[in-house]
Chain A
Amino acid sequence: MPAPFVHLHTHSLYSPMQGVPTLEALCEAVRTQGQDRLALTDTNGLYGAIRFLDVARDAGLKPIVGAELVHEARRAVLLAKTPIGYANLCRILSARHCDEAFDFTATVARHRAGLVILSDDRAALAAWSQDSDEDLYVELTPGPTMHEAVALSRQSGLPPLATARASFLRPIDYHAHRLLRAIAENTTLSRLRADQCCAPLHWLMPEAVLARYFPHVPAALTNTCRIAEACHTDWDFKETIFPAFRQLSAEVAFETLRTKTYEGAQWRYGELSGAVKQRIEKELRVIQEKGYADYFLIVDEIVRQAPRTCGRGSAAASIVSYCLGITHVDPIRHHLLFERFLNPGRHDPPDVDLDFPWDERPKILEWLFTHYGPRQASMVANQNTLATRAALREIAKVYGIPAAEIGKALRLVQRRADFVDVMPGMPGMTVETWATQVCAALGLRAPWQEILSWSVQLQGHFRNLGLHPGGVVLVPDEIRRYVPVEISASGWPVIQWEKDQTEEAGLVKIDLLGNRSLAVIRDALVAIARNTGRVIDYATWDPISDPATNELIRRGDTMGCFYIESPATRLLLKKLWTGMPPDRRAQADVFEYLIVVSSIIRPAANVFADEFVRRAHGRPYTSLHPVLDDVLAETHGIMVYQEDVMKVAVALGGFTVEDGDQLRKVLSKKHKQRQLRDYQRQFYTGAAARGVRQPVIDQIWAMIMSFAGYSFCKPHSASYAQVSFKSAYLRAHYPAEFIAAVVSNQGGYYSTFAYLSEGRRMGLTIHPIDINESDWSYTGSGKTVRVGLMQIKSLQEHLAKRTITERRANGPYRSMRDFLDRVQPDLAQAKLLIKAGCFDSIAGELTRPALLWRLFASQAAKPPGYLPIPVEYSVQQKLAHELELFGFPLSCHPLELFEDVLAHIPHLPAKDLTLHVGKEVTVAGWLLTEKIISTKKGEPMEFVTFEDQTGLYDATLFPDVYRQYCHLLAPNHAYVVTGLVEEQFSTVTLTVRELRLLTSHDLGIQCEPIEEGVG
């Protein structure tokens, strides 16, 4: 029998930095108390409402949706009694966050319909009861002000209602609540005021405890049941809410789409083949059936706002998308499965991701919001939570640990992930004992044990709303009906849900994402047109058959190329193509293999990548099951794409196509563990029924699980591979323009320094900054790249642009004096330019220190009679200035700074590593990138990319060596590396045995190894 009480005022961790319990813990606790309903009333939001519905139902509870509205000193709990009440609740919360002149009482009064209101705010209750007493209650909560609320109820005649105002589950969780509040208030525990946190009594009191506080008002408890029964609990958000295209009717919208599709098909294919027509008709049929025509037309309209886009995701499997110009990969030529994008059984809305050059995206968003208005359009949120590192950092701040010590401890914890990975939950291991063990192992002193322990308990807490990188939601009417809206820091309206809840609530999301490589391609094409007169049309440009581009990709010389520049991808490309037998190599399609390579590089699929290479080289293999030979023929029996999960689930597990698609989707979600367990059971049962042996099922399920978290569908990879090809073409034919564009757009995998080094290795000359030659960004032409003014840290962009405009308008600067007169920069900015060597070409006999002296003199009220000319800065001083101003030495390779030390250490140049396979060698290296991974045993190891003046090389530190040297590793430092040269698939790597960090005191390069025992 359910308890005669229902909790109608509870907070979960979705009450930002206030509520302690997770939804699961809250629902479980309420269920344990014997109740069958629960109202979640997070502060000023429905941040976790959709997830709450699932979790509550899983726990056997009927969910009541509500929120605690708090504004300045006023507060009330609002419960959605009906769907209309839900819409009103969303409107009130939106007004609370968006309206500058928000009036607490008036707004609630205006949108009261369908809401139950609980409050102890005397003035507000009086105002609302003037309209009606219906669904209006006085909230009584144990605490010092309870007697006032009881008196209010008696005086006003409004019925009393008991709540626990629970922000935490047990009294001992109060400390966790205070910690969250101290983090939020940016203070310490001892300085946290009582009014900044809730009372210690505000825990999830069971009915028996709560009843002790209300012997004199028994109705307060029974009223909770009455309200709970009156509130709607059968919430259903399954229906998809499609945006409307210019308010056209469904028929007109579909006909418009059909017309546009056929026009686009003519543009793409010219003469339409039967296969093309058949595919178009098939897709249009599904689109019409599901009512997606408006959606396609809207996306089409957005794409037309920018000349260069990349439609990606599963939408690239659609010929309609291709014809409309939303995507650029021919789905017929590349055998892309339309069902991955849309199928009749799929209930969730289609997902179209559009990439724009990163610097054009704000304009696209601006257009969108101008066109649809904030009434219909809003950004999707990112719900920022306290992640492990953030939780550690923030709690450490509350404990008063200085920033430097926090940084050191975090690096230590990160480097020694093997200790930290032993998470609490093992038998006999409490959070406290775990924290004690970690601190003992890492040499961290008090209070780090406490900090670590709390960080585990508080990680994952919702902190604030951020913006999803590009998700936009459009609705046909008013968005505030469906979800509360806030205003983001950048001024865009943003809904309170992140992408998963958005989709689950039936809202259609369009991803408009910024892509740096599209900007790289754009800038390089502009530079090529300017330098050579050759105009390349982005839309019709097809570099896939270009021999030089194909060869470049085969060599893995892809640094700077979109999506295929990481060390792992370059290495895989080398392994794949270098060791491939000539007959196979002659036939293999580079583009098709590139699609595979960009899909198979994912964290959990390393073992499959090497096996794929072996099979691609023609090594015979036996599939785990004969069925896989057919299903995965295209990828040599290895599961590479998300579609493969669907195909294998259907073929081996007996899934329907829809179930297979759902399994694929569930794998990429964070909160779907329970569903995943159901699918696992279904797969095991289905496969066993088809006579598959248990060990084989285990192995195939492991392959399926390697898609968890992050994986791609083939259409997505094909779209990306096309952009990769375009960047590879530019790198092969126009290296200067390409490298300049890559560095200028600042978005690649590597640092500016690494790209410039690569440019030098490509035969380019890097020219220093010059006041009469440099633009704001880098410029490339022929065999030279000129460093842009953007490289000077702290140089104001507007000053640099004024300098360039003035130069273009009135000719080059004749001297520094001339520059000062014409541009009139402030002293600090002019100093930066002088130290960066901008005036070297026009300084004549004046040294840089002499220029500075004249600069100081130009600011003086009484100029001196004679100014000396000091000697020029030494080479070491200039290098120090380069480090300070650019972040790296520009005039030489950083390893040259260690020439003295290296002269005494016999070492090889990196380019000669291939000549010493199987031998132990010593090389010098500047660390470019590192990637820490865990072995199967959970031990950390690291892949590192180094470079010297002659080339890049990849090195591996296996667990024993890593443990010994991990504290010395950091990007942009110099090392002497000793190790064994190993070759696999004709690709050479170095297995590190010994590592030495080099330091140069002359330049003030501080190598800071992580010290143990920082506490």
Chain B
Amino acid sequence: MDRQIVCFAIPSFELALVRLNDPTLSTRPLALAPFNTPRALLHDVSPEAKQDGLHIGMPLEHARRLCPSLLVFSPNPYRVHSADQSLMNVVAQYAPVWEPSQPGSFVMDVTGTARLFGPACDVAAKVQQEIFDRYRLDGLAGVGCNKLVAQTAATLIAPSELYDVRHGSEQVFMSPLSVRTLPGLHQPCMRKVLERLDDLNLCTLGEVAESPLDALQVALGDYAGQLSRWAHGIDSVPVLPPTAQPSLEETVRLDPDEIDDSVLMGRLLDALQRLCRTLRSQRRVCGSLALAIRYSDQLEVTKRERINPETCWECDLSPIVSALFRKCVRRRIRLRAMTLSMTGLTAYAEQVSLFDERPLDEQRRHDRAKKLALALDQLKARFGERAIRYGRSH
């Protein structure tokens, strides 16, 4: 059976939500950026702001200089989440399987639903119409026989428009498009492929499709087959329903940026204690710890460590956090943020090891540390987060 995929998206979703609340903003240049830092970067910009030269990732200060009439709104994750949920409710009525790609954007697999709702393009139109009727949000929709074609079609149109790529016409559809329209080519690992395509002056997907595979292979290596399939409009990746991955994380934002290792470690260990307290309150343990740091120049480094046996105690995790910190922070550049994540969360097992091989002293020290942590949990619960903290002796 031919697959029927619909990509539905509301461009600049959060700004669309802002405009929904205040229709007078419909023609004003808008941008989304956090207010709590003087170094904020733009998260999203409206088409009017784009016309003034603004783009995502631009520093807010610079944007304000370029576009004095710019109105800036702070991101509101709660508003986005609840709006996204509402859209999902509509989408769920029509598609047995759907995959959220980003807030306000879904890929739906409507294969086999023709008898129920009609052809895929009708489903797309219905979703578009229903969302507009219910929420006054103007979406666009791309329809095709796979995710690639549907998503590519969606990038070529404006809100309220629909692009249906009929079965069999995928290669004709893809042929005039620039190779840069392929979303997969923007991943860092594909930089070399893009460079080679530029070298060979293969600018359109049609030119790639017309090139023999063995000729492409000498230039692009293992990526040649994948790229050739994409250029022919072939994509077998299924639409994957969302799955919940239990995890806990805490981000330490540093403003101003910080380079003092002892300060940074102190903030990190504070975060670790909060995470451990949460774990204990949920009666869970974590099996993996990850530290992601962002330097002042936006470079990010992430290091992970598996924890065996799983634990929820600071005394077990502190040395691992210190080691992760040493692995991550190698440059002489200030840090802007640190995110400590716990994954592999499982229920806390009361069963302890029957034959503890650790020296008695260490066992006692460990037990004392656990008791202390529990006591601190109680104190903090009663008197607040800042009531008491660990100190550090040098």
Binding site for B on A (CB under 8 A): 186-191, 397-405, 445-447, 831, 835, 847-849, 852-853, 856-857, 859-860, 862-868, 870-873, 877, 1011, 1013
Contact B334 A401 (CB under 8 A): yes
Partner among A399, A862, A870 whose Cβ is within 8 Å of the Cβ of B201: A870
Contact B261 A191 (CB under 8 A): yes
By Cβ-Cβ distance, the 4 closest A-B pairs, closest first, are: A400-B259, A402-B297, A400-B334, A849-B201
Q: Does B62 reach chain A (CB closer than 8 Å)?
A: yes
Contact A865 B212 (CB under 8 A): yes
Contact B333 A852 (CB under 8 A): no
Contact A868 B334 (CB under 8 A): no
Q: Does B244 reach chain A (CB closer than 8 Å)?
A: no
Q: List 7 A-B contacts (CB under 8 A).
A: A190-B262, A400-B332, A401-B296, A849-B200, A856-B219, A864-B218, A1011-B62
Chain B residue nearest to A861 (CB atoms) is B218
C-alpha spacing A191/B329, complex, angstroms: 11
Known: A403-B297, A853-B215. 20 other contacts (CB 8 A): A187-B332, A188-B261, A397-B332, A400-B335, A401-B333, A401-B334, A402-B297, A402-B334, A849-B200, A852-B199, A853-B200, A856-B196, A860-B217, A864-B217, A864-B218, A865-B212, A866-B212, A867-B215, A870-B200, A1013-B61
Within 8 A of A (CB), among B49-90: 59, 61-62
Contact B212 A853 (CB under 8 A): no
- Convert B251-262 into 0s and 1s, putting 1 for each residue whose CB lies closer than 8 angstroms to a CB of A: 000001101111
Within 8 A of A (CB), among B84-126: none
Chain B residue nearest to A186 (CB atoms) is B332
**In the complex, which residues of chain B have a beta carbon less than 8 angstroms from the beta carbon of A872?**
201
**In the complex, which residues of chain A have a beta carbon less than 8 angstroms from the beta carbon of B218?**
853, 856-857, 859-860, 863-864
**In the complex, which residues of chain B have a beta carbon less than 8 angstroms from the beta carbon of A404?**
297
C-alpha spacing A187/B62, complex, angstroms: 32
C-alpha spacing A400/B333, complex, angstroms: 4
Contact B332 A864 (CB under 8 A): no
Within 8 A of A (CB), among B205-222: 207, 210-212, 214-215, 217-219
Contact A853 B259 (CB under 8 A): no
Partner among B261, B297, B334 whose Cβ is within 8 Å of the Cβ of A399: B334
Chain A residue nearest to B214 (CB atoms) is A864
Contact B212 A190 (CB under 8 A): no
Contact A864 B201 (CB under 8 A): no
**In the complex, which residues of chain A have a beta carbon less than 8 angstroms from the beta carbon of B248?**
none
Whole-angstrom distance between the Cβ of A156 and the nearest chain B Cβ: 35
Count of chain A to chain B residue pairs whose CB atoms are closer than 8 Å in the complex: 90
Contact B215 A866 (CB under 8 A): yes
**In the complex, which residues of chain A have a beta carbon less than 8 angstroms from the beta carbon of B295?**
402
| Also in contact, A190 and B261, with CB within 8 A (given A405-B297, A447-B256) | yes
Interface size band for B: 20 to 34
Contact B201 A400 (CB under 8 A): no
Main secondary structure of the interface of A (DSSP, over half): loop
Whole-angstrom distance between the Cβ of A829 and the nearest chain B Cβ: 14
Q: Does B238 reach chain A (CB closer than 8 Å)?
A: no
Whole-angstrom distance between the Cβ of A697 and the nearest chain B Cβ: 53
**In the complex, which residues of chain B have a beta carbon less than 8 angstroms from the beta carbon of A399?**
259, 334
Give the one of B61, B219, B262, B297 with max A CB within 10 A: B219
C-alpha spacing A849/B262, complex, angstroms: 54
C-alpha spacing A399/B296, complex, angstroms: 12
C-alpha spacing A872/B334, complex, angstroms: 46
Chain A residue nearest to B259 (CB atoms) is A400
**In the complex, which residues of chain A have a beta carbon less than 8 angstroms from the beta carbon of B256?**
445-447
C-alpha spacing A399/B257, complex, angstroms: 10
Whole-angstrom distance between the Cβ of B220 and the nearest chain A Cβ: 9
Chain B residue nearest to A868 (CB atoms) is B211
Q: Does B184 reach chain A (CB closer than 8 Å)?
A: no
C-alpha spacing A853/B257, complex, angstroms: 47
Binding site for A on B (CB under 8 A): 38, 59, 61-62, 196, 199-202, 207, 210-212, 214-215, 217-219, 256-257, 259-263, 295-297, 332-335
**In the complex, which residues of chain B have a beta carbon less than 8 angstroms from the beta carbon of A186?**
332
Partner among A403, A853, A865 whose Cβ is within 8 Å of the Cβ of B219: A853
C-alpha spacing A868/B210, complex, angstroms: 9
Contact A190 B202 (CB under 8 A): no
Contact B259 A188 (CB under 8 A): yes
C-alpha spacing A699/B58, complex, angstroms: 55
C-alpha spacing A896/B15, complex, angstroms: 40
Whole-angstrom distance between the Cβ of A307 and the nearest chain B Cβ: 47
Partner among B59, B215, B260 whose Cβ is within 8 Å of the Cβ of A190: B260
Chain B residue nearest to A859 (CB atoms) is B218
Whole-angstrom distance between the Cβ of B267 and the nearest chain A Cβ: 13
C-alpha spacing A447/B219, complex, angstroms: 49
**In the complex, which residues of chain A have a beta carbon less than 8 angstroms from the beta carbon of B219?**
853, 856
Chain A residue nearest to B59 (CB atoms) is A1011
C-alpha spacing A852/B211, complex, angstroms: 15
**In the complex, which residues of chain B have a beta carbon less than 8 angstroms from the beta carbon of A403?**
297
Contact A864 B215 (CB under 8 A): yes
**In the complex, which residues of chain A have a beta carbon less than 8 angstroms from the beta carbon of B263?**
190
C-alpha spacing A189/B210, complex, angstroms: 59
C-alpha spacing A1013/B60, complex, angstroms: 12
Contact B215 A857 (CB under 8 A): yes
C-alpha spacing A871/B203, complex, angstroms: 10
C-alpha spacing A497/B74, complex, angstroms: 60
Contact A189 B215 (CB under 8 A): no
| Also in contact, A870 and B296, with CB within 8 A (given A445-B256, A863-B218, A864-B214) | no
**In the complex, which residues of chain B have a beta carbon less than 8 angstroms from the beta carbon of A1011?**
59, 61-62
Contact A400 B211 (CB under 8 A): no
Whole-angstrom distance between the Cβ of B217 and the nearest chain A Cβ: 7
C-alpha spacing A866/B202, complex, angstroms: 16
C-alpha spacing A318/B297, complex, angstroms: 59
Whole-angstrom distance between the Cβ of A883 and the nearest chain B Cβ: 14
Whole-angstrom distance between the Cβ of A408 and the nearest chain B Cβ: 12
Partner among B38, B201, B214, B217 whose Cβ is within 8 Å of the Cβ of A847: B201
**In the complex, which residues of chain A have a beta carbon less than 8 angstroms from the beta carbon of B62?**
1011
Give the one of B262, B297, B332 with max A CB within 10 A: B332
C-alpha spacing A706/B260, complex, angstroms: 48
Contact A871 B201 (CB under 8 A): yes
C-alpha spacing A866/B263, complex, angstroms: 62
Whole-angstrom distance between the Cβ of B156 and the nearest chain A Cβ: 22
Chain A residue nearest to B261 (CB atoms) is A190
Chain B residue nearest to A404 (CB atoms) is B297
C-alpha spacing A302/B335, complex, angstroms: 57
Partner among B38, B212, B260, B333 whose Cβ is within 8 Å of the Cβ of A189: B260
**In the complex, which residues of chain B have a beta carbon less than 8 angstroms from the beta carbon of A398?**
332
Whole-angstrom distance between the Cβ of A720 and the nearest chain B Cβ: 45
**In the complex, which residues of chain B have a beta carbon less than 8 angstroms from the beta carbon of A860?**
217-218
Whole-angstrom distance between the Cβ of A860 and the nearest chain B Cβ: 4
Chain A residue nearest to B334 (CB atoms) is A400
C-alpha spacing A852/B202, complex, angstroms: 12
Contact A400 B215 (CB under 8 A): no
Whole-angstrom distance between the Cβ of B180 and the nearest chain A Cβ: 14
**In the complex, which residues of chain B have a beta carbon less than 8 angstroms from the beta carbon of A847?**
201
**In the complex, which residues of chain B have a beta carbon less than 8 angstroms from the beta carbon of A863?**
218
| Also in contact, A405 and B212, with CB within 8 A (given A188-B332, A871-B201) | no
Whole-angstrom distance between the Cβ of B205 and the nearest chain A Cβ: 14
Chain A residue nearest to B264 (CB atoms) is A190
C-alpha spacing A712/B351, complex, angstroms: 90
**In the complex, which residues of chain B have a beta carbon less than 8 angstroms from the beta carbon of A187?**
332
Chain A residue nearest to B265 (CB atoms) is A190
Whole-angstrom distance between the Cβ of B249 and the nearest chain A Cβ: 24
C-alpha spacing A376/B295, complex, angstroms: 52
Partner among B210, B212, B260 whose Cβ is within 8 Å of the Cβ of A864: B212
**In the complex, which residues of chain A have a beta carbon less than 8 angstroms from the beta carbon of B38?**
445
C-alpha spacing A1013/B296, complex, angstroms: 15
**In the complex, which residues of chain B have a beta carbon less than 8 angstroms from the beta carbon of A852?**
199-200
**In the complex, which residues of chain B have a beta carbon less than 8 angstroms from the beta carbon of A1013?**
61
Whole-angstrom distance between the Cβ of B118 and the nearest chain A Cβ: 43
Chain A residue nearest to B212 (CB atoms) is A866
C-alpha spacing A404/B299, complex, angstroms: 13
C-alpha spacing A1011/B60, complex, angstroms: 12
Chain A residue nearest to B258 (CB atoms) is A400
